[in-house]
Amino acid sequence: MTSPFDITVVFAAPSGSAKLLAPRGLDTPQASSLGCTVSGATISETTEATTGQRALILTPDSDRVELRYRFTPDPAAYPDAMFAPRQTRFTRAADDLTEETAEIAPDADPLARAQAIARATAERFTYGHPEEKFNDGLDHVPALGCGMAEGSCVDINTYFIAALRAAGIEAGYVTGYFFPAEKRDHCEDMHCWVVTRIGGEVQDWDIAHHLKLGSRDIRPALNPKPGFRAAMAHSMGLDFPELGIREAKLIAEPMWIDGPALRRVEGLSIRLHHPDLPGAEGSA
């Protein structure tokens, strides 16, 4: 797919609803973001305090809100801020995780070591969406040792990126949308993946998709599961002082601003509009 494309995110906004926070879209080596247009809400912008990325504040003025993200296939660099180590409860490796990681392929070159850490991470998870996360209530990312935990892409990549950074490997966390090949032009929710930067070269990693395909032989690549993806934002533990929000886990979908916290929007319609996708509804 080499043409410009759009992604629309549509949802119902009840009368008197709160404001929302939404990403603006992220540049990557696969596509450049042209930003987001909004109907059904007035918009302003805010800046995340530690990464400098901009986000949208939405105030609904209709019962239906639509965000339309536009991308071109022109490659762009990931932002440097994405790779900067940050001390948040979602990225801070516990001492036991640091010690565990130090024993994983310590004499290998950095890329081979990153792959060994990816495979070790995969051995510690089964894919799923548990109500209780392995790091709930903690101010750090703990080691799982010889045990296993059920985890989503968010949980798995939380562990993976903390381990990579504990090993001194530059790594960033990307949030966005993935449209599985079997669903063609729609998906139900966000997805995330990890990017390493080694010797100035970037590598993309998607452990969750390998696990979905029944493999723990993790290799750097996008789309081990067939489909199409686009990035919306980056990093975890985000601060928006203007909104009183501190250490929000992430943003990818629009989120209701609920006091100092963010709350998911229910009933999202997420569609890909791409002229190279035959038969896709509403191709751009």
| CATH code of the domain occupying 83-231 | 3.10.620.30
Instruction: Quote the pLDDT of residue 228.
Output: 94
Each of the 284 residues of the chain gets a pLDDT tens digit; together they read 678 999 999 999 988 889 999 999 999 999 999 999 999 999 999 999 999 999 999 999 999 999 999 999 999 999 999 999 989 999 999 999 999 999 999 999 999 999 999 999 999 999 999 999 999 999 999 999 888 999 999 999 999 999 999 999 999 999 999 999 999 999 999 999 999 999 999 999 999 999 999 999 999 999 899 999 999 999 999 999 999 999 999 999 999 999 999 999 999 999 999 998 865 444 33
Do the Cβ atoms of 63 and 14 come closer than 8 Å? Answer: yes
Q: Which residues, 6+ apart, have CB-to-CB distance to 168 below 8 Å?
A: none
Q: Which residues, 6+ apart, have CB-to-CB distance to 145 below 8 Å?
A: 96, 100
Q: Are strands 238-240 and 245-248 parallel, antiparallel or unpaired?
A: antiparallel
Domain boundaries, the chain: 5-81+242-273, 83-231
Burial 249-283 (b: 16+ CB within 10 A, else e): bbbbbbbbbeeeebeebeebebbbbbeebeebeeb
Three-class secondary structure assignment of the chain? CCCCEEEEEEEECCCCCCCEEEECCCCCCCCEEEEEEEECEEEEEEECCCCCCEEEEEEECCCEEEEEEEEECCCCCCCHHHHCCCCCCCCCECHHHHHHHHCCCCCCCHHHHHHHHHHHHHCCEEECCCCCCCCCCCCCECCCCCCCEEECHHHHHHHHHHHHHHCCCEEEEEEEEEEECCCCCEECCEEEEEEEEECCEEEEECHHHHHHCCCCCCCCCCCCCCEEEEEEEECCCEEEHHHCEEEECCCCCCEEEECCEEEECCCCEEEEECCCCCCCCCCC
Nearest alpha-carbon partner for 250 in 166, 178, 154, 156: 154
